[in-house]
Every structure is written in structure tokens, then in C-alpha cells.
Amino acid sequence: MEKPGEEAADRGPLRPIVSPVERERPADPAFSSSRIVINHILQGLRQGRYVPGQTLVAAELMKELGLSKAPVREALHLLVGEGVIELLQNRSVRITRLDADDVRGFVAVWSTLGATSLRLAAEAIAAGADGRALDERIAEVERAAGRGITYEFLMSIADYHCAAAVIGGNLFIRRFIGLAHFEHTHRHMASLMPALPFREYAQRFGGVHDAVIAGAGGQAERLFQEHMAWVTRLLQGH
């Protein structure tokens, strides 16, 4: 099992997921400052600087980011509402721990929503949309499978889904992805499935990609649901 931050040590910081809804956020200075804090925390989760159960100290975030108390508190409040962090009785906060049932619940929802997103991306490509971003991301999925680091591999697939959602163009799916916080959820998935069959996983997902790029929306939707049923079986017993 990789240790938190192992992928950062091996390859340097991974590129962050850019939420598909960032461009739709209001250009408000106060919001922008709180977004800096949110992105910092999410990137910290991705890089392993923050881990589930870790306490966050507002004063340390203020000092590190050069921000006042207001945007830091606003950011923490937003992430509490989105389930990434939790408020403790002493008013401190920590990164939320998800249990196996929470992760399985996420997989059940994503099996349907992700399948819809990929179908829409395939339909958009069939109508002439550029799918080269997905070719780039599936290549990264294959490279990550070769490296064999579970969290990094899962996040390469999350990057693929973010790109597909942009191509598909459905605003509500893009908003959900922004709230799903793959950086957080996949930390827990990686802990439940530390030894993935990486090559088989990548091969199955590659078949989904082939259908998306071919513009075969119904096939992409079906193959992804079958793939996620397989992932669910991997999670059984945890």
C-alpha cells in the first residue's frame, strides 16, 4: 500500500483537478479568496499533505496562504457543508473519514451519473466535438496503471471524468463532479483497495473510452455501468 504522499515523492506534485464549474463561479473577491483556501486543501489531499482524520488549524492556513480570518473560515464552512471536513465539539475541524459504506454509496451514485456523463460526451463527439483531451487522459490512465500506485491511478480516472463532463456539457453533472471531491473520496477508496488489478482495471476502462471516442453513447453508458459493477465487487467484504 502506498503511504500518504508517496506519489508526490515519486513524481512531484500531480496536476490538480480543475473543477468543471470553476468558470461558472462569480468573480467576487471574497469568494476568490475562499476558493484559494478550498483549492489548497483539496490539492493537499491529492498530494498527501492532508489525510483523513487530520486536524486543520485556521491560523496556520491564514499564515501559509497570507489571508485574513474571514475567507479561511468561509472556506472551512463550505467544505464542512460538502462533507470534506467535519466540525468538532471544540470548534476545530478535521478531514472527514469515510467508512466502507460511505464509499460504496459513492460508487452506487457514480455508477449511474458517470455513465450518463460518458454517454453525453460520446454523443457530443459523434456530433463533432473534439475528443483529443480524452485520448490524452486515457494515456495517463495507462501510465498510472504501470506505476501501480492506487490513489494516483484512481485520480487519473477522475481526471478523465472531469474532461468528459466538459465535453458532454451537462451543467448539473459538472456541478456534481465539482462537489464530489474525488481528491477526498478516492483517498478512502485507495485504502479499501490497496492492491488493485491495475492492468485489468485500465483495460476495462479503456474499453469504455473506445466507445466514447467512437461516439457510441449507449455502448459507453452500458460498458461503464458494467465496469462499475466490477468495481463494486472489488469493494465487497470491506
Long-range contacts of range 57-62, CB-CB < 8 Å, 24 or more positions apart?
57/92, 58/93, 61/37
Question: Which pLDDT score is estimated for 62?
Answer: 93
- Per mean pLDDT, which range of 14-28, 33-47, 166-180 is the poorest? 14-28
Residue pLDDT, tens place only, 183-226: 999 999 998 887 899 999 999 999 999 999 999 999 999 999 99
β-sheet bridge partners, residue 55? 94
Question: Which pLDDT score is estimated for 237?
Answer: 62
Instruction: Please report where in the chains the cell 463550505 appears, as a residue.
Output: 78
Closest CA to 38 of 90, 86, 80: 80
CA distance 204 to 200: 6
Residue 117 above 70 pLDDT? Answer: yes
Residue 1 above 80 pLDDT? Answer: no
Residue 15 above 60 pLDDT? Answer: no
Average pLDDT over residues 53-64: 91
Q: What are phi and psi of 161, to 5 degrees?
A: -65, -35
Can you list the domains of the chain with their CATH numbers? 6-95 (1.10.10.10), 100-235 (1.20.120.530)
Question: Which pLDDT score is estimated for 162?
Answer: 95
Residue pLDDT, tens place only, 77-97: 999 988 899 988 777 899 999
Which pLDDT band holds residue 238 (cuts at 50, 70, 90)? low
Which pLDDT band holds residue 31 (cuts at 50, 70, 90)? low
CA distance 47 to 40: 10
Closest CA to 180 of 82, 40, 35: 82
CA distance 176 to 185: 13
Average pLDDT over residues 106-125: 97
Question: Which pLDDT score is estimated for 17?
Answer: 43
* E strand or H helix that includes residue 212: helix 198-213
CA distance 96 to 184: 9
Which pLDDT band holds residue 71 (cuts at 50, 70, 90)? very high
Cell of 204: 476495462
- Per mean pLDDT, which range of 86-90, 120-124, 145-149, 164-168 is the poorest? 86-90
Instruction: List C-alpha distances in Å: 67 to 16, 32, 91, 173.
Output: 21, 11, 20, 32
**Predicted model pTM:** 0.81
Residue 52 above 80 pLDDT? Answer: yes
Select the more confidently predicted residue: 227 or 235: 227
Instruction: List C-alpha distances in Å: 197 to 34, 145, 150, 200.
Output: 39, 9, 10, 6
Work out the mean pLDDT of the chain and round it to a whole number. Answer: 86
Residue 155 above 60 pLDDT? Answer: yes
Share of the chain above pLDDT 70, in %: 86
